[in-house]
Amino acid sequence: MQRSYNQMDNNEVVTEEVAAVVENNTGIEIEPLFEEQVDFDTFSKSDFRVVR
């Protein structure tokens, strides 16, 4: 997934840079936290916790 810097949001750029530094310096591979983003409406429909 190659995109130019202008099309990436700032958090994604920082995350990729940190992951590259950690992987290069320690040999540790960082798992992606989110494979796909979930919008609030989808999350709220599937969140069954009770708020009291």
Show the domain range for 26: 5-46
Does any domain span residue 36?
A: yes
Domain contains 52: no
Q: Is the pLDDT of residue 25 over 60?
A: yes
Angle at 39 between CA 45 and CA 17, to 5 degrees: 140
- For the residues 24-47, what does the mean pLDDT come to? 71
Half-sphere exposure (CA, 13 Å, Cβ side) for 45? 4
The reply to whether 51 falls in a domain is: no
- Tell me how many domains the chain contains: 1
Helix, strand, coil share (%) of the chain residues, nearest 5: 50, 0, 50
- Interval 28-38: pLDDT, tens: 666 777 666 77
In a domain? residue 31: yes
Is there a domain that residue 37 lies in? yes
Question: Does the pLDDT of residue 13 top 70, yes or no?
Answer: no
Output DSSP code: residue 50: P
Identify whether 29 is part of a domain: yes
pTM (whole model) above 0.75: no
* Locus of tokens 């995350």: 15
12 located within any domain: yes
Chain centroid to Cα 43, Å, comes to: 16
